[in-house]
């Protein structure tokens, strides 16, 4: 399709491409406005009209892009999780990293993220209450991610061998640490991040690390 020309400047972009870029920009503005509203008052206490006004769009645009406020809530949470996941991606991509060091860095990244995005916890709490299916899907994704990391630690020789049932159970226990950190932040406490994370990991090491076999120690004494 030929591009249109103008005596005042270079050829303009094809109409379809320009329309797509405008639509993507509008969608991003609505998500940013919804996040700002959620940060101020909680998503379920905000109005569609308030979000649209903050985004500078008509209410119809919000329904066009997301269908409903529920659809917007789901998309907003997905975008926050995707943003957090992108920050943690490099930790899982580095196969040479020790399991416990990955956990340490990951928890510190999570704490930084929670401080920078206070609406994350508010949205998670509201989704747990009002959208339990969406919340459970998110938890299942986190558990599978943690289970994959545990299996990699076993393969690496850092962690003791475990069966699948124990791996899934340990993945749930490890995710519980994030809930503990969330509660500390929500209570108004200002934890010393590295000290808190290191104290927690000292307990995890005792339960999960691979220990030398007793036969090896006996052989060493013989």
* CA 18 to mean position of chain CA atoms: 31
- Domains by residue range for the chain, with CATH: 14-67 (1.10.10), 70-211 (1.10.357.10)
Q: For residue 209, what are the β-bridge partners?
A: 159
* φ, ψ for residue 9, nearest 5 deg: 180, -170
Question: What are the distances in angstroms from CA 203 to CA 77, 94, 97, 107, 149?
Answer: 31, 24, 20, 15, 18
Res 161 pLDDT > 50: yes
Structure tokens at 36: 């700002």
Q: What is the mean pLDDT of the chain?
A: 78
Three-point CA angle 41, 42, 46, nearest 5°:
75
- Which pLDDT tens digit goes with each residue over 194-212? 888 888 888 888 878 777 6
Structure confidence at residue 11 (pLDDT): 43
| Residue 90 burial (10 A CB sphere; 0-12, 13-18, 19+) | exposed
Instruction: Report the pLDDT value the prediction gives residue 170, as an integer from 0 to 100.
Output: 93
| Structure confidence at residue 166 as a pLDDT band (50, 70, 90) | very high
């Amino acid at each position: 399709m030929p591009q249109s020309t103008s005596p005042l400047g270079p050829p303009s972009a094809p109409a379809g491409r320009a329309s797509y870029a405008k639509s993507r920009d509008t969608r991003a503005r609505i998500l940013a406005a919804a996040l700002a509203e959620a940060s101020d008052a909680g998503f379920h206490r905000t109005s569609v009209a308030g979000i649209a006004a903050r985004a500078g769009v008509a209410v119809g645009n919000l329904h066009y892009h997301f269908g409903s406020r529920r659809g917007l809530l789901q998309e907003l949470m997905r975008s926050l999780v995707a943003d957090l996941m992108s920050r943690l991606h490099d930790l899982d991509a580095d196969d040479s990293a020790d399991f416990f060091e990955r956990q340490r860095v990951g928890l510190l990244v999570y704490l930084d993220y929670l401080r920078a995005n206070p609406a994350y916890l508010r949205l998670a709490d509201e989704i747990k209450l009002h959208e339990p299916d969406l919340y459970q899907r998110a938890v299942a994704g986190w558990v599978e991610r943690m289970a994959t990391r545990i299996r990699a630690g076993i393969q690496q020789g850092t962690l003791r061998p475990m069966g699948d049932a124990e791996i899934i159970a340990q993945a749930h226990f490890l995710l519980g640490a994030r809930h503990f950190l969330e509660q500390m932040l929500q209570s108004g406490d200002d934890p010393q991040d590295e000290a808190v994370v290191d104290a927690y990991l000292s307990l995890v090491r005792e339960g999960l690390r691979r220990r030398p076999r007793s036969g090896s120690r006996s052989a060493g004494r013989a």
